[in-house]
A and B are shown apart, each in its own frame.
Chain A
């Protein structure tokens, strides 16, 4: 029989749908409704992983998302190829489906035989803080020995090595009420909140079946109905309401400001035949007017020697496996507890035919009605007993127990043989989401728990996460949170526990491994060591010992750790406080967070109207900010070098055409426009005539060059400003900032017109001949339309703002046309230009041509620390204006130091050598290291027009070093170069002085 521990009836599984799952290459059998954990237990095994540090065999601790041990690598669709595997899936919540390929983690060569288990024997080495103690000396071991070792050992599971092949969806949603958790409290809250139909309600639960703890409950009745029936009726009512969205398989993982809730819905992983293209997961971002947190609680383990042996699990989890999944965790069960709730597990196990004993640390008189009920069911109960240790290695074979004396002494040991243990150290309300919402926790000593205290947002907790454990009270609390005073009668719940941090033992505590945090292999003695070494803050203890870290974030372990630290420091528990709860509540795939924004869709791409033409004409592209720009236009067989050399020659000898549409364009309008320009730019604008253009330089408040560009005056009160491509949003914000905050008196308005006007640059000796035939209403003669002028008229009948400007040194026009007509005008000019062998060119040629002329590019020559004088533009700084942005900063003493870096040319001795941009420049490379650096190369190209390489550099005191020999770093060493002026090319014929 493949499922020897499967019960013959009962449970929320569908016996008509048998399934098989691959587990470490073996086949597990089960049914729809199972998890991998329940299938494993059905097979008779608990072994589900190896521990992180000591590689101890580990079993299944829990039945929920707080599982620390049973972490699986799951390939969700092995039949579809690579890219669908992810690590660290909790076996206890993976919804089983035929075809899943699962594997345990953290062992080699196999789960059963793991070489790493030697760490368990070496454990004195791996004490708290061993990273800091062990890997200190010798220094030379740091990167060659220690780092590879630590990297290999660190981290849980193996990260996928191929791109995620799945698709992930996302959506936003709004709710009047979001209910987190569909247990008894959540169902009641959602029903109450949606009752009158006026509110939009979303109910989300991380499980694949709604009902929460009631799914584990076969004895309780609510208003005379079995709990399971009550759940079904509640869900059916909610499903029928149009104002309710019910989301199973949806984990609320983040609670952010303004009731912004993030949750992830598992859409496809559980489906047998997921259609191609179906998203695997969906990220929901919900804005809720009110959040009702009904997240339940986590059971605490008991801390005793070898409490991590497979077969030892939480008591409520044992109940879940027996009742919900209809599997027996073994044949012979010891329930070890310090509280009442575990008695229900014992009773249900007994009813399921298991041999059951209870070991309770409480004295008989401290117990409630559960004691009598257990005894009357024929269960042996040892009250006032401690568990000294568990026996067995890969499976628990028994527990050693002993009576506790009145003085706390440990009496005579005896051994109880068993093959499974259900332990309960009490309950911890799940306050994660409440804490994420920034609400303040309050300690309740009677419950030994932190409960939601003062709210920071519009939310309320209900049920067990609110510290309420009795079923009828839980349901009433849910109804109340949903706005109703409905009450029900329900079977009384066994509640109450006597907190215990570490079970009393007569063993030498230094030789005992009693685990607090299973996932991080943190034992009670690690915590003690940390406190002994002086760590008192719980945040420090956490980081030093790693308790509470990793994928489970200490859901089961935190209260035991806090209580132990409090005890050691002899302080009340609330004085210790908690560590910070941070999102995500459980691990979230990167795919869900990223959604469709991946690869070439990582961010939006902006394209110009001429982009389709560039694509059709074989352009290579480069990203500039979000823009996709044509980099160069290679002809067949050309590499970039050849294409750029050809394009550069063409512009200087005939004519080139260039898409300048991405340049930022801002219209500055209003009666005070000229005054505004005066204040924003360093140079003067009042005297610029309508129809004239001027190069403008803009500084930040710190006096450093921020942006530049040509500005045209279209009317007395209207300027057409251009900015760099990448700087456009920054400049717009800068202007808007000053208008709104510094100069609200100015009657000026700015509008981005970047997207309204496409800009086609036609440059070269034949530029005029190409443009002129299509222009109307503009006098194109040299006298009427000089360099640095703008005219409004028509081209091909389309309105144009025609600029006579040049960034190449050649005669040039920038034809601005409304974007809808840009491609057509471009094509018209291109056809006309064929007479002159017109050459389309890209950004690389644009860069080379401007460098030949010594024109700077802001952000390339400048790096945010260059003044106008540094880049040779002090002539653009008005001496007459009373003020402009950055003026005061220019007067600071260190802005005037003679050894500031200044823009110069730099020519490699070998004219064919192209220096590296960013390369360091030194005077004498033979000086001892560190060799003093005098500057760096900012732009460097091979110039076909100059017949050699050219470069610009920022050099300390550079203008006084013209003709000086310097050395420039290369990948191989240094190369010799000479400082020069930064103008490399003289244009024949028409004079331009852009």
Chain B
């Protein structure tokens, strides 16, 4: 294996830019460029083993449908029956490979690190913006931290999950879409958030 000699271009490079009045901004966005992702599909009749393995290896529950859990150096989002998206910060292309080895025989693992573009959206008006594209009830008392959904946003298929609120109390969501939709999604987001002001935070 040799060193990567070329430069990565992330999904929102060249797109992500502040919109409207940003002092203060109603919404703050950043791209999660370093998040490694892997689709995890439980093998037949091995879901229990997979849950045990995840608990042992990563110290977290395998999330129930429409939920997300966090473990040691990993988070896991439910994306469908027997299907999860495993995420690791700065996991690189080795993440899926290692996970496949760890889960050998109990789950099928496929690298999706570049397949999804992931944005983190926070700010006092984040729910107002999401309400323009997502038909789910994202009320603070309904869609709690640790809740997740596979849905549509402005005609683009997305996975969505809520993180713990920021220190200041603002809600935080992450939203993942197939990368080829980034340009269209950005158009939707920038138009929808313009009235509240959209600021860009450092990625990561």
Chain A residues proximal to chain B, CB less than 8 Å: 169-174, 200, 277, 285, 287, 596-597, 601, 603-609, 612, 627, 667, 669-671, 747, 749, 751-757, 776-777, 794, 796-799, 818-825, 827-828
Q: Is the CB of A608 within 8 A of B5?
A: no
The residue from A170, A174, A753, A821 contacting B8, defined by CB atoms under 8 A apart? A821
Q: Chain B's nearest CB lies how many Å from the CB of A748?
A: 8
A794–B41 alpha-carbon span in the complex (Å): 27
Residue contact A820 to B108, C-beta cutoff 8 Å: no
Please determine whether B180 and A669 come into contact, CB atoms closer than 8 angstroms.
Answer: no
In the complex, what's the smallest C-beta–C-beta distance from B46 to chain A, in angstroms? 9
**B6–A669 CB distance below 8 A:** no
Say whether A818 contacts B114, CB under 8 Å: yes
Q: How far is the CA of A194 from the CA of B9 in the complex (A)?
A: 51
Does B178 have its Cβ within 8 Å of any Cβ on chain A?
yes
Q: How far is the CB of A169 from chain B (nearest CB, A)?
A: 7
CB pair B43 A755 closer than 8 Å: no
Residue among A285, A671, A819, A824 making CB contact with B6, cutoff 8 Å: A824
CB <8 Å contact, B110 and A825: no
- Chain B 35-60, CB-CB to A under 8 Å as 1, else 0, gives 00001010110000000000000000
Q: Which B residues between 114 and 134 are near A, CB-CB below 8 angstroms?
A: 114-116, 131-132, 134
Known: A756-B114, A797-B3, A821-B8. A606 touches B180 (CB 8 A): yes
Instruction: Specify which of A285, A605, A827 is in contact with B184 (CB 8 Å cutoff).
Output: A605
**Bound-state Cα–Cα, A823 to B13, Å:** 12
**Chain A residue nearest in CB terms to B45:** A747
Beyond the given A287-B135, A612-B14, A751-B108, could you list 11 further A-B residue pairs with CB under 8 A, ordered by the A residue number?
A169-B132, A597-B155, A604-B156, A606-B178, A607-B180, A608-B180, A669-B108, A755-B178, A756-B110, A823-B9, A828-B6
The reply to whether the CB of B202 lies closer than 8 angstroms to some CB of chain A is no
The majority secondary structure among interface residues of chain A is: mixed
The interface residues of chain A lying within 8 Å CB-to-CB of B134 are: 172
Query: Measured between alpha carbons, how far is A514 from B41 in the docked complex, in Å?
Result: 72
CB-nearest residue of chain A to B128: A171
List residues of chain B with CB within 8 A of the CB of A751: 39, 41, 108, 110, 112
- Would you mind naming 22 contact pairs between A and B with Cβ atoms under 8 Å apart? A174-B137, A596-B154, A597-B155, A604-B156, A604-B185, A606-B180, A606-B181, A606-B184, A609-B179, A669-B108, A669-B110, A670-B43, A747-B44, A751-B39, A751-B110, A756-B113, A799-B93, A818-B114, A819-B11, A820-B9, A820-B10, A821-B6
Q: Is B70 an interface residue (CB 8 A)?
A: no
State how many angstroms separate the Cβ of A81 from the closest Cβ of chain B. 22
- 7 closest cross-chain pairs (CB), A and B: A824-B6, A606-B180, A755-B115, A604-B184, A797-B4, A756-B115, A749-B41
Give the residue of B5, B8, B187, B188 whose beta carbon is less than 8 angstroms from that of A820. Answer: B8
Q: In the complex, what distance in Å separates the CA atom of A757 from the CA atom of B112? A: 9
**In angstroms, how far is the closest chain B Cβ from the Cβ of A723?**
15
B114, A820: Cβ atoms closer than 8 Å: yes
- Cβ of B174 within 8 Å of any chain A Cβ, yes or no, is no
Query: Once bound together, how far apart are the Cα atoms of A847 and B84, in whole Å?
Result: 39
> Are A747 and B43 in contact, with the CB atoms below 8 A?
yes
- B5 near A174 with CB under 8 A, answer no
For residue B167, CB closer than 8 A to chain A, the reply is no
Write out the residue numbers on chain A whose beta carbons fall within 8 Å of the beta carbon of B180. Answer: 606-608, 627, 755
A285 and B115 contact, CB distance less than 8 A:
no
Check if B142 sits within 8 Å of A753, measured CB to CB.
no
Q: Find out whether the CB atom of A753 lies under 8 angstroms from the CB atom of B115.
A: yes
- Please measure, in the bound complex, the distance between the C-alpha atom of A819 and the C-alpha atom of B114, giving whole angstroms: 6
Q: Cβ of B155: which chain A residues have Cβ within 8 Å of it?
A: 597, 603-604
In the bound complex, residues from chain A placing their C-beta under 8 Å from that of B14 are 612
A821 to B43, CA, bound (A): 31
Known: A603-B155, A820-B8. A755 touches B114 (CB 8 A): yes
Q: Which residues of A contact B114 (CB under 8 A)?
A: 755-757, 818-820
Write out the residue numbers on chain A whose beta carbons fall within 8 Å of the beta carbon of B7: 824
From residue B98, how far is it (CB to closest CB) to chain A in Å?
A: 14
Q: Is B183's CB within 8 Å of the partner chain A?
A: yes
Contact A172 B4 (CB under 8 A): no
**Cβ contacts B150-177/A at 8 Å (1 or 0 each):** 0000111000000000000000000000
Nearest opposing residue in chain B for A797, CB measure: B4
Contact A753 B110, CB 8 Å, known A604-B155, A828-B6: yes
Residues of B within 8 A of A747 (CB): 43-44
Contacts of B116 in A (CB 8 A): 755
The reply to whether A756 and B111 contact each other, CB–CB distance below 8 Å, is yes
- A residues in contact with B10, CB < 8 Å: 820
- Residues from chain A with a CB closer than 8 A to the CB of B3 are 797
* With known contacts A606-B180, A796-B6, A821-B4, A172–B112 Cβ distance under 8 A: no
Residues of chain B with a CB closer than 8 A to A597's CB: 155
For residue B184, which residues in chain A have a CB less than 8 angstroms away from its CB?
601, 604-606
Q: Using Cβ atoms and an 8 Å threshold, which residues of chain A touch B115?
A: 752-756, 819
Between A603, A627, A820, A827, the greatest number of chain B beta carbons within 10 A of the residue's beta carbon is seen for A820
- B179 and A670 within 8 A (CB): no
Chain A residues whose CB sits within 8 angstroms of the CB of B178 once the complex forms: 606, 754-755
Is there contact, CB below 8 Å, between A670 and B191? no
Residue of A nearest to B46 (CB): A747
Please, which residues of chain A bring their CB within 8 A of the CB of B6?
796-798, 821, 824-825, 827-828
Whether A601 lies near B131 (C-beta < 8 A) is: no
Residues of A within 8 A of B4 (CB): 796-798, 821
**What residue in chain A is nearest B157 (Cβ atoms)?**
A604
B112 with A819: CB separation less than 8 A: no
Residues of chain B in range 1-35 having any CB-CB distance to chain A below 8 Å: 1-11, 14
Expressed in whole angstroms, the minimum distance between the Cβ of B22 and any Cβ of chain A is 17
CB–CB B5/A819 < 8 A: no
Residues 77 to 128 of chain B near chain A (Cβ within 8 Å): 93, 108, 110-116
Closest B residue to A799 by beta carbon equals B93
Whether A794 contacts B1 in the complex (CB less than 8 A), given A751-B110, A756-B113, comes out as yes
How far apart sit A188 and B135, CA to CA, in the bound complex (Å)? 29
Are A796 and B135 interface neighbours, CB within 8 A? no
Distance in Å from the Cβ of A826 to the closest Cβ of chain B? 10
Chain A residues with Cβ below 8 Å from B41 are 669, 749, 751
**Complex contacts, B132 vs chain A, CB 8 Å:** 169-172
Most buried by B among A172, A612, A752, A776: A172
Q: How far is the CB of B43 from chain A (nearest CB, A)?
A: 6
Inside 8 A of A606's CB, which chain B residues have their CB?
178, 180-181, 184
Contacts of A612 in B (CB 8 A): 14
A174 surroundings in chain B (CB, below 8 A):
137, 139, 142
Give the shortest distance, in Å, between B131 (CB) and chain A (any CB). Answer: 5
Q: How far is the CB of A612 from chain B (nearest CB, A)?
A: 7
Residue of A nearest to B180 (CB): A606
Question: How long is the Cα–Cα vector from A277 to B194 in the complex, in angstroms?
Answer: 10
- Contact call B131/A172, Cβ cutoff below 8 A: yes
B201 shortest CB reach to chain A, Å: 20
Identify which of A754, A777, A818 gathers the most chain B CB atoms within 10 Å of its CB.
A818
A776 and B156 CA atoms in complex are apart in Å by: 37
Given known pairs A171-B132, A794-B1, A818-B114, the reply for A605 and B183 (CB within 8 Å) is: yes
Would you give the shortest CB distance from B85 to chain A, in whole angstroms?
A: 11
When chains A and B are docked, how far (Å) is the Cα of A794 from the Cα of B4?
A: 9
Which residue of the partner chain B has the closest CB to A750?
Answer: B41
- Expressed in whole angstroms, the Cα–Cα distance for A822 and B13 within the complex equals 14
Bound-complex Cα distance A755 to B9 (A): 14
CB distance from B53 to the nearest CB of A (A): 16
- Once A171-B131, A171-B132, A596-B188 are accepted as A-B contacts, the answer to whether A667 and B110 lie under 8 Å apart by CB is yes
Find B1's partner among A169, A200, A777, A821 (CB 8 Å cutoff): A777
In the complex, are the beta carbons of B187 and A776 less than 8 A apart?
Answer: no
CB distance from A208 to the nearest CB of B (A): 22
- Who on chain A is nearest to B116 by CB? A755
Cβ distance B81 to chain A, nearest Cβ, rounded Å: 9
Contact among B2, B154, B183 for A797, CB-based, below 8 A? B2
Query: Is B9 a contact of A285 with CB atoms below 8 Å?
Result: no
In the assembled complex, the Cα of A979 lies from the Cα of B181 at a distance in Å of 44
Q: Is the CB of A776 within 8 A of B2?
A: yes
Distance between Cα atoms of A749 and B41 in the complex (Å): 7
